[in-house]
Structure formats: structure tokens, C-alpha cells
Chains A and B, each alone.
Chain A
Amino acid sequence: MSESGLKPQMKYKIETKAVNLHYGSFHALKDVTMGIRDCSITAIIGPSGCGKSSLLRLFNRTNDLIPGVKIGGDILLDGDSIYDKSKDISVIRKRVGMVFQKPNVFPMSIYDNIIIGPKHHGVKNRSKLEEISESCLKQVALWDEVKDILKKSALDLPAGQQQRLCIARALAVEPEVILMDESCSALDPESTMKIEELMANLAQKYSIIIVTHSMEQAVRVSDWSAFMMINEDKIGTLVEYSETTKMFQNPKDQRTEDYITGRFG
């Protein structure tokens, strides 16, 4: 329970303060200010090129890897700036995990994929590592399917299982927030369903932020929705942010309404 006495679902896990993002001379995001609540699922939706993924990648500083990137404003994790110079970037990325659009398992065994993160962070004990691997694979409901082939290459798994393995790999470092960048877009409907169920379970412990192209998915899984769009200067902005049910039943902004009723995008 937080100090303020709020339920975790009401407390802000991540806050962005007038965030601006430039890739070289290209202005990608303008003045994004929003608060993301703990233990809930927040969906970022909007047409292609509106800066959804760019925003998501700011939350664990993945954009830092791109040369020429400039970030203005600030992003707070539990009230602390993650862009503060004194912050250890590995600790931030450990606390804010990420699952990508395409399954990107490492070309090594299933077991090694899971334990690589904990090993980076100093877990050496073998039985402890085995315990982590079992519990993470169980959390993503993959344990029964792979428990006998843990030493086999992760690349031999079908895509849906690979993506669940990627989620398990992210869970293995005990993150507090999980970012999912269109993590179902490369999967078949059945795998998508499994991952959506998984998200709902994980949201009891973690704060989950997803970027999705599918409005149906946003409605199905998310508690909060953020609608983004490019403005007249072709810069990504946050148009509307509210509870998902409210946004989809009664959008406040005309642009949101046009988008969710399928008039464009």
C-alpha cells in the first residue's frame, strides 16, 4: 500500500511531464503528460505513425539506443525521474521490462533464455535459477508444454509459444512494469487470446502498458486508454486519456470519436 493511502490501482506508477521527443530534426512527440496507474492495463491506441511505440519506448529508455535522439520533459517512475543523470539505466530497465512486436527469443535454449536476465543481475545459485525458470514459465502457462525440452533451442518453438517465452524472460528479472509493443500483432488469434488472458493475470501484480493497433484488443483487455494522433504539424500528441469504458462509450474529443467509430485510421 502506498504512502498516500490510495489503492494501488489509483496510484501513479509512471508519470510523464510534458515529454517531447526528437529523432534528429524530426519532432516525434509533443508535450505528452499522463499518469499511468499501478496494477492495471493501459492501452495506447492511435493510427500508424502517431508515436505510440515511441512513447512506450521512452518508459524504459529503449530510445536511448537510437543515435540522435533528444528527449525533453521528464518521466517519473514511482515519483523518481528515470532520465536523471545519476540513475543506473540497467536498474530502470530491470524495473520496466519490455515485450516486443515480434517474438525475439535469443538463439539459445529455452532455459538459458529465461535465466540470462537473472544471471546479469547476479543470481548464480543453480537451484535458484531453476526455480525462477519454473515459476516464470508457469506464470505464462508454458511450463507444461516445455518442461521436458528446456535444453532445446527456443527457436524451435512455434511463434505463439516464443512470444510467451519472451514474456517469461521479461518476468524473470522481477520487473514492476511491463511494456508490450503490439506484442500480439504477429500471432494467430488463439495465441493472441492466450496472451490476453495472461495480461489480465499479470495486471494483478504488475502495471502493464500495451501499444495496440486493435481497438477490439484495447476494449477487451485494458482498464485505461490513451488515444494518440499526429497534430497539424505532423507531431505525435496525446488527444484523450481516460478509462477505457468511458472513452469507447462516450469519447470527449471529436478526433477520438472519428477514430474509434472507424471513420479514419
Chain B
Amino acid sequence: MNLTAQTREKIAKTFIWAAAVLVLAVLTAIIADILIKGLPVINFSFLTEIPRSMGRAGGVASPIVGTVLITLLAVTIAVPFGIGTALYLAEYTKDGIITRLIRFSAESLAGIPSIVYGLFGFIFFVIYLGLGWSILSGGLTLAFMILPTIIRTAEEAIRSVPLSFREASYSLGATKTQTIFKVVFPSAIRGITNGIILSVGRCIAETAAVMLTAGSALQLPSSILDPTRTMAVHFYILAVEGISAENAYGTAALLIILIFLINVVANMLVNRFVAKGR
């Protein structure tokens, strides 16, 4: 084809615009559909009552509690180990067999379907360790699931801190530990937080792995050894078993709002307390 540069420019522009508009349209359609059908269901009693008759009536109080507890547990376990591993990979070792092995494992683990984590959690935590279907089993399983994401995003963020910052820090007589914790880590915090937020989103949205490890109990848990049901699982069961499309949509809308809120709040916290410099 013999097109002028201008024509090509126009075609490229049109194509890029079309792609962006299409993606935005699909996204808006999905969210709008869920919110339009779901929002009317959400009211005070929907938020505060536990589900009755399999979820046909009542609210979603216990799934909310289950979701929050499992996610909190998973993140609390995975974040320190994930960041620790990332720091080790990025700062404390030269590239060698061990680092390549760790990185390869993390990358492979990131690509495994969540149902496999669920099966592993079921066999190892639920059966072998005897933790039963519980918040603890679910949280541990999800911690394993999000660990690779946290390691990879944190390592990338730490590596992208410019050498010039490290040099400046060392030139002030800082030790390696001081440099890492006072300069490198704060400079990487935004990237690290993005990874954590991504992981929180995955925890909240996960169904297969939690169903196999935390069960689908409807009552409010009284300890982390009790089984529970997360909102995503609740939604899945309501929809698949045709129990209540109405309540399913309500739950879905609530999930979207929750994830949106977590994003906003996490960003605010980072801006307010950690990334003061930028």
C-alpha cells in the first residue's frame, strides 16, 4: 500500500481512539448494569442482617465479615514475607542461581489458576493440618496466592528507585540498612502499595480457592477457626443455584463499591502518611 504519512497518522489515531472508547464502553456497561440492578437492593438491613433461607432473604452481614477477615489475614501474612523477599532479591543478593530460582518460582506461582491454590489449601491446611474449613485456612491459602504478585510488584518498584538516590544516601555516610529503609523503601512505596491493592482486590474477588478452604457457612464466625462465606462466594452460590438474582446483584454492587473504596482510601493513606515527598 502506498499511503502518505498523514493518512497513516489518521488511521493510527482512529484505531487507538476506537480501542480506548470500546474498552471504556464495555467497562461502563458492566458496571452500570450491576449498579442499576444492585443498588436498589442495598439498604441498611441488607448490610446488617445475616442471610436467611440460603440467601433468598435477609442481608449479607456475615459474608461482609468473612470477606474482610479473610482478606485482612491473607494480606497481613503475605505483605511482610512478600516485601522481605523482594528486598532480598533486589538489594541483598547478586543475580545467581538462588535468585533466579526464587524469581522463577514466583513467576510460575503467579500463573497458576486459583483453583489449584484452593486444592492445595484444602489438602494441606484443611485436611492435613486439620484446620478445617475456616477463615484461617482461607486466609493462608489466599496469602500463598497473592505472594507472587506482591513479590514481583515490590521487587520492580524497589529496582526502579534510581541509583542516584542510593549514591546520594551512601555519600551522606548512611549504612546499607539506613539507605534501604530511609531512602529506597520510601521511594518505592507507591509501587509497593499498588501491588498490595491489586492483591487485596484479588482476595476480595476470589471464589474457587476460598470455597474449598473457608467453606460457605452463612452464620457469623466467632473465631478464625470458624468456616465462613465471602461475598464473592455468596454471589456465586446465589447466581449459580438460582437462589436470588436480586440479592446476587446487590452483593455484586457491594463488591464493586468495596473495591472502589479500598482503592480510594489506600491512595489517600499513602499520600497522607508515606509519600509526603511526592
B166 to chain A, nearest CB (A): 7
Residues of B near A151 (CB, < 8 A) are 276
Interface centre among A98, A155, A172 (most CB of B within 10 A): A98
Query: CB-CB contacts of A204-242 with B at 8 A, as 1s and 0s?
Result: 000000000000000000000000000000000000000
CA distance A188 to B174 in the complex (A): 31
Q: Which of A89-97, A245-253, A256-264 contacts B (4 or more CB under 8 A)?
A: A89-97
Query: CB-CB contacts of A183-221 with B at 8 A, as 1s and 0s?
Result: 000000000000000000000000000000000000000
CA distance A212 to B165 in the complex (A): 22
B191 to chain A, nearest CB (A): 12
> How many residues on chain A are close to B (CB under 8 Å)?
34
A242 to chain B, nearest CB (A): 29
The answer to whether A107 and B168 touch across the interface, beta carbons within 8 angstroms, is: no
B108 contacts A by Cβ under 8 Å: no
From A93, A106, A108, A153, give the contact of B173 (CB < 8 A): A93
A77 contacts B by Cβ under 8 Å: no
The answer to whether B172 and A173 touch across the interface, beta carbons within 8 angstroms, is: yes
Residues of A near B52 (CB, < 8 A) are none
CA distance A106 to B168 in the complex (A): 9
B275 contacts A by Cβ under 8 Å: yes
CA distance A112 to B172 in the complex (A): 13
Residues of B near A92 (CB, < 8 A) are 173
The answer to whether A62 and B276 touch across the interface, beta carbons within 8 angstroms, is: no
B165 to chain A, nearest CB (A): 6
The answer to whether B278 and A65 touch across the interface, beta carbons within 8 angstroms, is: no
CA distance A67 to B182 in the complex (A): 23
The answer to whether B277 and A94 touch across the interface, beta carbons within 8 angstroms, is: no
Residues in B146-188 with C-beta less than 8 Å from chain A:
162, 164-175, 178, 182-183, 186-187
Residues of B near A121 (CB, < 8 A) are 173
A135 to chain B, nearest CB (A): 16
CA distance A154 to B175 in the complex (A): 23
CB-nearest residue of chain B to A108: B277
The answer to whether A155 and B277 touch across the interface, beta carbons within 8 angstroms, is: yes
The answer to whether B178 and A120 touch across the interface, beta carbons within 8 angstroms, is: yes
A169 contacts B by Cβ under 8 Å: yes
Known: A106-B183, A108-B186. A169 touches B172 (CB 8 A): yes
The answer to whether B278 and A107 touch across the interface, beta carbons within 8 angstroms, is: yes
Residues in A126-156 with C-beta less than 8 Å from chain B:
151, 153-155
CB-nearest residue of chain B to A104: B164
From B175, B186, B187, give the contact of A90 (CB < 8 A): B175
Known: A106-B183, A108-B186, A120-B182. A62 touches B167 (CB 8 A): yes
CA distance A95 to B178 in the complex (A): 17
* B contact patch SS: helix
B94 contacts A by Cβ under 8 Å: yes
Query: CB-CB contacts of B169-213 with A at 8 A, as 1s and 0s?
Result: 111111100100011001100000000000000000000000000
Residues of A near B164 (CB, < 8 A) are 100, 102, 104
The answer to whether B172 and A94 touch across the interface, beta carbons within 8 angstroms, is: yes
CA distance A153 to B278 in the complex (A): 6
CA distance A125 to B169 in the complex (A): 21
Interface centre among A97, A100, A117 (most CB of B within 10 A): A117
Known: A67-B94, A108-B186, A116-B183. A60 touches B171 (CB 8 A): yes
A36 contacts B by Cβ under 8 Å: no
The answer to whether A97 and B277 touch across the interface, beta carbons within 8 angstroms, is: no
From A91, A95, A109, give the contact of B276 (CB < 8 A): A109
Residues of A near B165 (CB, < 8 A) are 104, 106
The answer to whether A100 and B278 touch across the interface, beta carbons within 8 angstroms, is: no
A176 to chain B, nearest CB (A): 12
A39 contacts B by Cβ under 8 Å: no
From A102, A107, A117, A153, give the contact of B174 (CB < 8 A): A117
The answer to whether B170 and A62 touch across the interface, beta carbons within 8 angstroms, is: yes
Residues in B238-278 with C-beta less than 8 Å from chain A:
275-278
Residues of A near B167 (CB, < 8 A) are 62, 65, 98, 100, 104
| B interface residues (Cβ-Cβ under 8 A, vs A) | 94, 162, 164-175, 178, 182-183, 186-187, 275-278
Q: Can you identify 5 A-B contacts, CB atoms within 8 angstroms?
A: A67-B94, A98-B168, A104-B164, A109-B276, A120-B172
